[in-house]
Each structure stands twice: as C-alpha cells, then as structure tokens.
Chain A
Amino acid sequence: MEFAQLGLYNQAIILFSAVALLTSFLMLAQTRMLPLIFTFAWQGFLLATVTVLVAVVTEHPHLLVSALLTFSLKVVIIPWLLYRLSVQLRMQYNAEQIAHPTLLLIAGVALVIFSYFVSKSIIHLSGLATRNTIAVSVAIELLGMLLMCVRKSAVAQVIGFMSMESGIFFAASVSTYGMPLIVELGVAFDILVASILFGVFFFHLKDSFGSLDVGQYNRLSEANASQLPVPEQALGQPVPGDHS
C-alpha cells in the first residue's frame, strides 16, 4: 500500500511517529544538557499529540487519559524536575564529549533497520500505520537504550531511560488503543516515583563522587574487589561491613 492512499489519520500518525523518531536521533547527538532536556520534552509532546489524535479519530475516549498522563509526566513534570536539578547542581551549561558521534549515529540507523526487521514478522496482523508505529516504538526504545550506553552523565542516562518508557507507551496507545486504565495509572505512578528517586540520587551521587559522571563509579567491579578502598577510613566515613 502506498503512503498517499492512506487516510489522513493514518498519514498523520506515521508523520508524527517519524518526527518522534527524529527527536530520538537529536537526543543521541545532543551533547549539551539543556537542549537535551528540551528535546526530550518535545518528544513527549509529539507522542501525547498522537495519542490525542488516536483517541479522537477512533473514539476511544479513555486514551485521552493516557494522553494527559503522557503530557503531564513527559512534557511538564520530568523535564521540569531535570531542569531544576541541573540548575541546582550547576550543570545546565555542561556539555559532554561523545567519542565517535558519526559511528554513534550509524549505530542508531542500524538499530532502526533492526527494529523494522524484527517487526516484519508481524506485518500480516496489522495495517501499514500500526506496522510502522510498532517498528518506530521499538526503535525509540532501542535508541533510548543506546543513549544510556554511550553517555557518561547520569542526567543523560535518566533521559535515555525515560525515552525508552515513552517509546513503550507510544506502542501501547497506537497499536492497541491503550492498555487497561489501571495498568496505565500504575505505570505512570511508577515512572513518577522513579523520576523523583532519580532526583534524590543525583544529590547522593554528587555528594559521594563529586560529579555525575557515571564513568567514575567503579568501586564495585569484580576486577578491583581485592583492593577495596581503604582511604574511606581515613576520611572517617563508614565502610560497608565495618562495624567497629
């Protein structure tokens, strides 16, 4: 089936999911903190818009609730929390180095192709629009994971995590007309709690390690387990298992 033969509604869904995928790539390459947070909010806004569209056209009013949840969590609360935290931790103008940006983007492209390949097996179940949205949501999820893998900053990791969650929500609302309401509320509650906890952890990490660079957290690897840090005792901080 050709793209132009689809109804306006299906065309709009494909368009919005394509733009959401684009924002995933933007996040992947964005090294500065504030634009990263804003791009994440834009992605949430796009996904919420698609959900409203599906709700209105297919007359599934309860999807409006999930659109509202997506909007309030992904566009308002989480970006606002992250923004406030990065201002408080004075890192809003920080930029981090990405070792090989070109390779990273190529890896992202490979992941998108992989997602389309994986969702090829379920083509016969659905129309063109759904097929694309499933592939795109898998891609958004995997790109979120890639973002978490390559970034060293804890804030970027959280954004990758939340972007994965957005991708899954997107799959649920477009391909299945929304999960049962109790599940959506439960998931939203968990995400809300998780985002608050992440905020708490930023401060703990900053206190303990002096930075939010995940690369420095290597006290617990198997390799150096034999030489557990002794200097802590000198600093007067308790060492795990030290009860004396």
Chain B
Amino acid sequence: MTLLETTLLAPLVGGLVLAILGHRPVAGWINIGVGIITFGASLAMALDVFAHGPQLSPSRMFYIDAFNVYLVVLTAFVGLTTSIFSRPYMRHEVAIGRVTDRRLRLYHAMYQCFLFSMLLALSTNNLGVLWVAMELATLTTVLLVSLYRTPEAIEAAWKYFILCGVGIAQALFGTVLIYFAAENKLGAGRDDTLLWTVLHDAAASNLDPAVITLAFVFLLVGYGTKVGLVPLHNWLPDAHSEGPTPMSAVLSGLLLNVALYALVRVKMLVDASLNTNLAGELMMGFGLLSFTVAGLFLHRQHDVKRMFSYSSIEHMGLITFGFGMGGALATFGALLHMTVHSLTKSAIFITVGHACQLAGTQRIDQIRGLIRTQPAIGWGLLIGTVSIAGFPPFGVFISEFLLLMATMKEWPWLTIPLLLGFGVAFAGLFRHIQRMVFGEPPPGQRPVQANMLPVVLHLVLVLWLGLAIPMFLSRWFEQATVLITGASPL
C-alpha cells in the first residue's frame, strides 16, 4: 500500500469504524489514532515528493506535486490537533446533555469522512472528482453544523446546504465547459480529458479562450462560494457559529483552503490558455471586496464565533487577492498566509471553544475576565488574536508584509485600501477581545478542564514561521510558487 493510499484510506476506514463505535468512550481515542496515522503517512509522502519531485499514480487518478502536498500535510495536521481538542470538548457536551450518543456517533463518523473528502479533493488529478469531493465535503459538514438540532443550528445548516449547493453546482457547470473546450482540442471519446495533467499540457497549446473565460466565471462563483468570498459569504458566519467548535476549527482552517486550492488550480489552466490576466483580476477584485467588507463587519458582532468567522472571510479575501495578483512574491506570500492563517485560526477556535464552555455562552458581552479565571485560556485567546491581527513576531505578519510588498510593486494604489483594511480589522478584533480577556469576571465563574496542547503547538509553529522559515519549508513554498507562476521568488 502506498503512502498516498494510506493517507486517503485511514480517514475513510476510520469514519466507517466510528460509524459503529462512535458513541463509546474509546471513540475519541480512535479519532486521534486515525489522525496520527493520516498525519504520519502524509508527512512521509511529503518528504518523498520533496526528494523525488511530483508523482502521478499508476492509474493517473492521483497527482501529487509541491502545491497540493503541503496542503495535504496541513490538512492532516490540523485534523489531528483538532481531534485531540475534540475528545474532552465533546465529552463535556455529552455530559451537559447537548449531544446524545447517536449524535456523538454521527459527529465522529462525519469528522473523519470530512477529512477524507478534503484529502481526496486535494490529491485527485481529475477535475470532476475534485468537484465530487468538494460536494461531499459540503454534505458531511451540513450534518455537523446541524448537530445540536436547535432552530438556529437547523437554519444555519439549511442556509449552508442551499447556498453551497447552488454555488457548487455552478462549479460543476464550469467543469463541464472546461471539458467541452478540452474535447474540442483533444478529440472526443478519450477517457483522460478531465485529468489535470492532460489539461495543463493542452492549455499550453491554447484551449478556446471564449469557452475557458465562461468556464472560469462559473468556477469562480462556484468555488468562491465555498471560499466565502463576499457577496457569497452569507452561509459562513452562521455555519461557524452554530456548529460544534471543533467543526468551526476545521471549517475555517481547512475547508476554505481546499476550495481556494481548487480555484487556484483552475486559474493555472485559465492563465495558460488565455494569455491575459483576466482570471487574476477577477480574483483580486473579489478578494479585496471580501477583505474590506469582512473587516467592517468585525465591528458589529455580538457572537464570538461569528466574529472570528468574519475574520476568516477577511483573510481568505486577502489570500485570494494575493493569488490573483499572481507574481512570484505575491504567490509565495499567499501560500505562506494560507498556512499561518490555518494554524492560527484553528488555534483561536479551539481557545474560543474552551472560553465558551467557561462562560457558558458565546455572547461577547457576557464573556469577561478570562485571564483572571483561567490564565491559559485568556492568554491563548489574546496571543492568538495578536497573531491573527498581524503583529510582528508571528508568521501572519511576515506573509501580510510580503503581500503588501508585492502590492506596492505591482499595484501601488491598492496598498492604501489594504493598509486601511488591516487597521479596521485590528480595531474590530481588539475592541471585543480586550474586554473579554481583561474585564472583571462575573461572580462564580470557574475554570473548566482544557487541553491547551494543540493551541500551544499551533502558536509555536506560527511564531517559528515568523522568526525564521526553516530551509526545507521555504524551498517547498518556492517549488509550489514555481509551479503556479513559473517564476521563483528567491
């Protein structure tokens, strides 16, 4: 069995096992164990790809190169740390009666199936299978969002289901159009026309520009809905705030990345066959709009998980903007930002989950005095927010700085809205966080049992990336940048 097969089969088999055993006390441990296997296999595979270059599986179904392998490792890693957090968290939820045994089983099974669908989407070579996996990710998370069965959770899940379903149907149409263009070029009746490797070679010899342009618009709307680009972002804050917190962590940290990955893959095709920057400019526009609007929305939030999901929209907007700009430096910055945002945001959601259990509510104005009640949670939230707001010693600062530099070089005027956006978002986060962390704790607030290991791990990694990017990682990002743009930033 190859490493890739292990990476994909572990969560699938794990999901099936958990569908039977998911309500037992041991299920949390099984969840962690599957995460360890997946992460180990993906890491070994990454080292293999790093040493020997891109790999195409014998059936040509899977293709692993520098770009997707690092996202596979990131997905497996965050999946693992979140499962470590979810074990005590879900036990607490069962103890207070919010989740029954049956729903706990559903939760565990869907958690692993969700990871499987994301890993499938990342590693497949077939644009059609990529779509199928994205839709599968939607279906599994719909069940997770509605886990608590409150009217709000049901409404959020319905909204998510309908909006993402419609959005992603557009992406299917875009995929059909790409297939149509490729068939015109390569001849009908071939089985491999939808393979990314084949398409990428064909795109170099110019697929029909009119069809490809039309296809890209559909794909941008489709996958853009899942990235959470404004004005298609409506589902995102609802789904994040009403579902269980471990799910918010993986949604924000991983699913948005995977959708953006799909978009960038398509952009590589479109750029090769159009010879204009149309795709890039569209992405820049949507990215900048999301960045600005989400930054403003941060100010008027009353629910802490909603607030951080708007922060996710803001950062995804920035990354989309970076990929849209498309130079070597911007792409390098965007790749780095994808990584640090995932790590930081999932750490924040984990801390927020504990903070909400501590305060017994998600309302910002009722969460007070975290540092005095339980310093680990208070400091975790504060440091996480400092990091996500882009303060210097952390990795987010470096990637935002790189993106700003690239903007200054290529679109000098756009640095103004970017800088303003950073300021607005910073103010929006801290006007809420400051009081939550330092305020006077309400009488009778007691510490809860919290496992801060994942948070510490993530934040240390982000700090490390901010102080010095290790050599192999920067070469890795460089390889991915060369793949996407054809030029090296170093």
> Footprint of B on A, CB under 8 Å?
60, 118-119, 121-122, 125-126, 134, 138, 141, 145, 148, 154, 157, 161, 164-165, 168, 171-172, 175-177, 179-180, 182-183, 186-187, 189-190, 193-194, 197-198, 201, 204-205, 208-209, 214, 217, 219-220, 222, 225-226, 228-229, 232, 237-244
Chain B residue contacts of A145, Cβ below 8 A: 166
Contacts A176-B176, A180-B194 known; A125 to B302 CB distance under 8 Å? no
Residue B36 at the A interface, CB < 8 A? no
List which B462-484 residues lie within 8 A (CB) of chain A.
none
Q: Can you give 21 A-B contacts (C-beta < 8 A)?
A: A148-B162, A168-B173, A171-B173, A175-B180, A176-B183, A180-B191, A182-B126, A183-B126, A183-B132, A194-B139, A201-B157, A201-B161, A204-B149, A209-B151, A220-B159, A225-B303, A225-B306, A228-B363, A232-B151, A238-B148, A239-B152
With a 10 A CB-CB cut-off, give which of B136, B210, B302 has the most chain A CB atoms: B210
Residue B81 at the A interface, CB < 8 A? no
Check if A219 sits within 8 Å of B151, measured CB to CB.
yes
Check if B241 sits within 8 Å of A240, measured CB to CB.
yes
Chain B residue contacts of A119, Cβ below 8 A: 214
List which B178-193 residues lie within 8 A (CB) of chain A.
179-181, 183-184, 188-189, 191-193
Residue B332 at the A interface, CB < 8 A? no
Alpha-carbon separation in the docked complex, A141 to B478 (Å):
41
Chain B residue contacts of A190, Cβ below 8 A: 132, 135-136, 139
Check if A189 sits within 8 Å of B161, measured CB to CB.
no
Chain B residue contacts of A176, Cβ below 8 A: 176, 179-180, 183, 188
List which B127-174 residues lie within 8 A (CB) of chain A.
128-129, 131-132, 135-136, 139, 142-143, 146, 148-159, 161-162, 165-166, 169, 172-173
List which B69-110 residues lie within 8 A (CB) of chain A.
92, 96, 98
Check if B179 sits within 8 Å of A179, measured CB to CB.
yes
Contacts A122-B214, A165-B169 known; A197 to B143 CB distance under 8 Å? yes
Q: In the assembled complex, how far is the CB of residue B395 from the closest CB belonging to chain A, in whole angstroms?
A: 30
- Using CB atoms, name the residue of chain B closest to A119: B214
- Using CB atoms, name the residue of chain B closest to A227: B302
20 other A-B residue contacts (CB within 8 Å) besides A119-B214, A197-B143 = A138-B173, A168-B172, A168-B176, A175-B176, A176-B180, A183-B132, A187-B128, A193-B139, A197-B161, A201-B146, A205-B154, A208-B155, A214-B158, A219-B155, A220-B152, A220-B156, A225-B306, A229-B152, A243-B92, A243-B356
Within 8 Å by CB of B356, from A60, A186, A232, A241, lies: A241
Alpha-carbon separation in the docked complex, A208 to B132 (Å):
31
Check if B165 sits within 8 Å of A161, measured CB to CB.
yes
- Give 7 nearest A-B pairs by CB, closest first: A183-B128, A241-B362, A186-B132, A208-B151, A121-B210, A244-B360, A190-B135
Q: In the assembled complex, how far is the CB of residue B358 from the closest CB belonging to chain A, in whole angstroms?
A: 9
- Using CB atoms, name the residue of chain A closest to B245: A241
Q: In the assembled complex, how far is the CB of residue A165 from the closest CB belonging to chain B, in whole angstroms?
A: 6
- Label chain B's interface by main secondary structure: helix
Alpha-carbon separation in the docked complex, A165 to B170 (Å):
9
Q: In the assembled complex, how far is the CB of residue B95 from the closest CB belonging to chain A, in whole angstroms?
A: 10
- Of the four ranges (under 10, 10 to 19, 20 to 34, 35 or more), the interface on chain B belongs to 35 or more
Check if B241 sits within 8 Å of A182, measured CB to CB.
no
- Using CB atoms, name the residue of chain A closest to B127: A183
Contacts A180-B191, A182-B129, A187-B132 known; A197 to B139 CB distance under 8 Å? yes
Check if B128 sits within 8 Å of A237, measured CB to CB.
no
Chain B residue contacts of A183, Cβ below 8 A: 126, 128-129, 131-132, 194
Chain A residue contacts of B92, Cβ below 8 A: 243
Alpha-carbon separation in the docked complex, A122 to B207 (Å):
12
Residue B361 at the A interface, CB < 8 A? yes
Q: In the assembled complex, how far is the CB of residue A60 from the closest CB belonging to chain B, in whole angstroms?
A: 7
Chain B residue contacts of A118, Cβ below 8 A: 214
Alpha-carbon separation in the docked complex, A241 to B165 (Å):
27
Q: In the assembled complex, how far is the CB of residue A190 from the closest CB belonging to chain B, in whole angstroms?
A: 4
Check if A164 sits within 8 Å of B300, measured CB to CB.
no
Alpha-carbon separation in the docked complex, A154 to B146 (Å):
17
Check if B179 sits within 8 Å of A172, measured CB to CB.
yes
Residue B301 at the A interface, CB < 8 A? yes
Chain A residue contacts of B485, Cβ below 8 A: none
Chain A residue contacts of B193, Cβ below 8 A: 180
List which B187-213 residues lie within 8 A (CB) of chain A.
188-189, 191-194, 208, 210-211, 213
Alpha-carbon separation in the docked complex, A217 to B189 (Å):
47
Check if A205 sits within 8 Å of B158, measured CB to CB.
yes
- Using CB atoms, name the residue of chain A closest to B182: A176
Chain A residue contacts of B161, Cβ below 8 A: 194, 197-198, 201
When each residue 349-378 of chain B gets 1 if its CB lies under 8 Å from chain A and 0 otherwise, what string results? Answer: 000000011001111000000000000000
Chain A residue contacts of B191, Cβ below 8 A: 180
Residue B238 at the A interface, CB < 8 A? yes
Q: In the assembled complex, how far is the CB of residue B118 from the closest CB belonging to chain A, in whole angstroms?
A: 15
